[in-house]
Amino acid sequence: MIEFQEVSKKYGNQTVLTDNNLAIQDGEFFVLVGPSGSGKTTTLKMINRLIEPTEGDIYFDHKRIIDYDLKELRLRIGYVLQQIALFPNMTVAENIELIPEMKNWKKDERRQRTRELLEKVGLPPEEYMQRKPSELSGGEQQRIGILRAIAAKPDIILMDEPFSALDPISKSQLQLLIKELHKELSGTIIFVTHDMNEAMLLGDRICIMRDGAVIQVDKPDQIKKHPKNDFVAQFFKNDSLSLADYRVEDLAAMDLLEIITGTAGRSVTMETGLDEVVRRLAANEKLNLQLEENQQAQVTSQTIVAFLQQQLEAGEPLDD
């Protein structure tokens, strides 16, 4: 769907991107990760032409993006920023319906879509539709920002470090949410982060960048097993703990598992890592831990959120 061919960007004598080649597939959750100044946000902004390349071409559906009408291009692309950029003078409903209105959706269609999306993210429509952004928490505001980006069913959603300013609990909840929405909507998401743990959790494929160059592109497990160089390998060396450092047994030890009878879904074991649990929950799998005979413990998204809350309260340096 999106292809970069020998794309470079310069500002005077400063080179920001150098001869980059990338191919992003339809329906893919593609993550750009790297330190500050690596060129990942510049790469993202080139897709909706907020930044134009100095050299090279970018293609969208086999057509150069420079050849699209700019308004037409941007109406096909949703955009979510780190800074929660809701219009403060507009209600939640008006914010969500902004792009559908620009695309001439009928009022009833817009309102139905708004209700449907708010219910999907756990915000009761009757309670939230007429609120202003100032009446929402940071996590709720970013939920609305995501809904505004997907409301008109865009082909592509660009997300520029959307969760980095949030507290760990809100961040974890929204990571699960965006994975669930991606699976359900089957759109293409291009996501920028500086956090390798987040990239590993979310991405179908990851593009690691440094100093304006693409260093390695591959599936998360392949990058972890076969880092191209020391720079890539160091992303896995972190002083903070991540979900990968915990197991289901840690949930059991903290009495966070819900005991049930019968069969709840696919099995996990005490040794299953919480990063794997989150991936499987995001794929809408129901997970259970076999205890005794027909007794099982269910593992849910709420279990993970409760675990993160306890870690935060205990002062653990968890980097989720």
3-state SS track over the chain: CEEEEEEEEEECCEEEEEEEEEEECCCCEEEEECCCCCCHHHHHHHHCCCCCCCEEEEEECCEEHHHCCHHHHHHCEEEEECCCCCCCCCCHHHHHCHHHHHCCCCHHHHHHHHHHHHHHCCCCHHHHCCCCHHHCCHHHHHHHHHHHHHCCCCCEEEEECCCCCCCHHHHHHHHHHHHHHHHHHCCEEEEEECCHHHHHHHCCEEEEEECCEEEEEECHHHHHHCCCCHHHHHCCCCCCECHHHCEHHHHHHCCCCEEEECCCCEEECCCCEHHHHHHHHHCCCCEEEECCCCEEEEECHHHHHHHHHHHHHCCCCECC
Contact criterion met (CB below 8 Å) for 218 and 206: yes
Q: How many residues belong to the chain?
A: 320
Nearest to 65 by CA among 133, 166, 158: 158
Confirm whether 320 is domain-assigned.
no
| 134 and 281 share one domain | no
Confirm whether 12 is domain-assigned.
yes
Summarize pLDDT for 16-32 with one digit per residue, the tens: 999 999 999 999 999 99
| 111 and 248 share one domain | no
Instruction: Record the pTM.
Output: 0.76
Question: Which segments in the chain show pLDDT lower than 70?
Answer: 236-242, 244, 261-265, 282-285, 292-294, 311-320
Summarize pLDDT for 124-180 with one digit per residue, the tens: 999 999 999 999 988 889 889 999 999 999 999 999 998 887 777 778 778 888 888
Q: How far apart are CA 205 and CA 192, in angstroms?
A: 12
Confirm whether 318 is domain-assigned.
no
Q: How far apart are CA 201 and CA 248, in angstroms?
A: 17
Residue 3 neighbours by CB distance under 10 Å: 17
| 124 and 207 share one domain | yes
List all residues 6 or more positions away from 10 whose beta carbon is below 8 Å from its beta carbon.
16, 54
212, 234, 256 - which closes a domain:
234
| 157 and 250 share one domain | no
| 224 and 247 share one domain | no
Nearest to 92 by CA among 38, 45, 133: 133
199, 234, 269 - which closes a domain:
234
The CATH number of whichever domain residue 167 belongs to comes to 3.40.50.300
234, 267, 299 - which closes a domain:
234
| 202 and 304 share one domain | no
| 221 and 266 share one domain | no
| 88 and 171 share one domain | yes
Contact criterion met (CB below 8 Å) for 15 and 9: yes
Q: How much is the pLDDT for 239?
A: 40
Count of domains observed in the chain: 2
Which structural domain, as residue segments, surrounds residue 285? 243-313
Q: How far apart are CA 69 and CA 207, in angstroms?
A: 28
| 91 and 226 share one domain | yes
The CATH number of whichever domain residue 268 belongs to comes to 3.90.1280
| 178 and 303 share one domain | no
| 229 and 292 share one domain | no
| 153 and 283 share one domain | no
Residue 302 tokens read as 């709420």
